[in-house]
Amino acid sequence: MDVLSVTSEIFPLVKTGGLADVAGALPLALAAHDISVRTLVPGYPAVTNALKRGRVVAEIGDLFGGSAKLVAARVGGLDLIVLDAEHLFDRPGGIYVDDFGKDWTDNWQRFAALSWVAAELAKGMVEGYRPRIIHAHDWQAAMVAAYVAFGGDQQTRVVVTIHNIAFQGQFGADIFPHLRLPDAAFTMHGVEYYGGVGFLKGGLQCAHAITTVSPTYAREIRTPEYGMGLEGLLNQRGYDLHGILNGIDPVAWNPQTDPALAANYAAANTKKRSVNKLALTSRFNLDHSEGPLFGLVSRLTWQKGIDLIAANIDWLVSLGGQLAVLGSGEAHLEAAMADAAVRHPGRVGFVQGYDEDLSHLMQGGSDIMLVPSRFEPCGLTQLYGLRYGAVPLVSRVGGLADTVIDANEAAIEAGVATGIQFSPVDSQTLGEAILRAINLYAEPETWSRMQRKGMKTDVSWNNSAGKYAMLYQNLAADQ
């Protein structure tokens, strides 16, 4: 079966978050289920520069304001179709924002073009290639469902995956005449959303199936607390909504072979983690300590609960813990992390920005990985922590609740605990969870058992890829 994946970013070529990791890993996992995936991705400079032997498979004279071409290539085991449209994607700055952190004003045009091209591929734009299924990721690709639904295509089936419902791609009604959609699409049964155009809303309205990245998040987004205004639509489409957990790439994230680690190790023997901890404390200018080292690899935002960590840093240090922070985001939270490092020299370290190798070392050297998100569709950080023996301390929301088994008395007694959960998501309960984690760390046998159990947990795409394959097959059977 041929599936066209449509995404605005893909690892290892271009990445701003977990979407890229999923888009890069899922096609490889689906191959084991006889699913052939090609990925349509924008031709940002980082993407086009990585193409070694690309082949032009189609040319487009007018694509939302300029000419474009489609380039087929294979990179890192991934079959790509690159949308090479210089007027839309060849520019400095970020892929979504400019050098000043402001959204590109033509984002609606850039990602409408991406979705339109996907729908045209399903109609046979490239000779000899017509995918039966299009899998669109997040608002940047969701409009492909509308282009298929209102374009007279009765054969193609579209799956839209919500990676984070907080980002919806909402624009003014003035863009609608430029979207190449019929007037009938500008209704509540199409892309119209409170008088404007909703890219994600239109995708969810028109998709044949909707998935999100964990079973708990699939339930949460049907409530006003987490649905971000789309809960009514999602309840109407509840039968078509599926929660399928994300996985991670077990090759890229493997503590036995990871080149970013100072020492490699296996689940059966975590002793070499101390070498990584020493390297990590050196990188963050932290003192040698017998207490636990907490790691934080995250965007520094309210959603991620970083303000709750900032409120608990003094408490964490007073209990004998240390904290290493890698991330960037909201200015006041960056300032809070920098200030904590100044107030607690040798106990708190902060590296602003993102470094892929350092993020791997943090998983291999931290004792505890902090993920106190207010909402978290799935989360990958805790999965990396499980794989590397960095015990996750997580809020009981979304995919965090689905992937981490709390170290309550019964779970510890049964030998199944893999981390620490806390709820509700506030400063006090996080502080209590930090204390609980430090007390558990002081019990070496219990702690080691938790680490080994976590490291033996299957966090790969094996099971989830099978669920996607079954979903595709069921949709294809309905044609």
Q: Percent of the chain having pLDDT more than 90?
A: 95
**Please, which pLDDT band fits residue 18 given cuts at 50, 70 and 90?**
confident
Task: Read off the pLDDT of each residue in 236-262 and give the average, rounded to a whole number.
Answer: 96
Q: Over 90: is that where the pLDDT of 416 sits? A: yes
Q: What pLDDT score was predicted for residue 53?
A: 87
Q: State pLDDT tens for residues 427-454.
A: 999 999 999 999 999 999 999 999 999 9
Q: Over 80: is that where the pLDDT of 34 sits? A: yes
Binding-site annotation, residues: 15
Q: What pLDDT score was predicted for residue 177?
A: 98
CA distance 390 to 364: 7
Q: Over 90: is that where the pLDDT of 478 sits? A: no
Q: Are 135 and 121 in contact (CB under 8 A)?
A: no
The answer, yes or no, to whether the previous bond of 424 is cis (omega within 30 of 0) is: yes
Q: State pLDDT tens for residues 253-309.
A: 999 999 999 999 999 899 999 999 999 999 999 999 999 999 999 999 999 999 999
Task: Read off the pLDDT of each residue in 189-194 and give the average, rounded to a whole number.
Answer: 97
Q: What pLDDT score was predicted for residue 17?
A: 85
For residue 403, the one-letter residue type is T
- Name the residue with tokens 């977990």: 18
CA atoms within a 13 Å half-sphere pointing along the CA-CB vector of 108? 18
**Please, which pLDDT band fits residue 186 given cuts at 50, 70 and 90?**
very high
Q: Does domain 2-247+462-477 have CATH number 3.40.50.2000?
A: yes
Copy the structure tokens of residue 147.
């282009």
Task: Read off the pLDDT of each residue in 172-177 and give the average, rounded to a whole number.
Answer: 98
Task: Read off the pLDDT of each residue in 349-364 and give the average, rounded to a whole number.
Answer: 96
Q: What pLDDT score was predicted for residue 52?
A: 84
Q: Over 80: is that where the pLDDT of 479 sits? A: no
Q: What pLDDT score was predicted for residue 101?
A: 86
Delimit the domains of the chain by residue range: 2-247+462-477, 273-456
Task: Read off the pLDDT of each residue in 400-417 and give the average, rounded to a whole number.
Answer: 98
Fold of 273-456: Rossmann fold (3.40.50)
Return mean pLDDT, the chain: 96
Q: What pLDDT score was predicted for residue 273?
A: 96
Q: Percent of the chain having pLDDT more than 70?
A: 100
**What pTM was estimated for this model as a whole?**
0.92
Q: Do the first three CATH levels of 2-247+462-477 and 273-456 match, i.e. the same topology? A: yes
Q: What pLDDT score was predicted for residue 193?
A: 97
Q: What pLDDT score was predicted for residue 191?
A: 98
Q: Are 391 and 420 in contact (CB under 8 A)?
A: yes
CA distance 394 to 296: 11
Q: Over 90: is that where the pLDDT of 148 sits? A: yes
Binding-site annotation, residues for ADP-alpha-D-glucose: 15
Task: Read off the pLDDT of each residue in 218-236 and give the average, rounded to a whole number.
Answer: 97
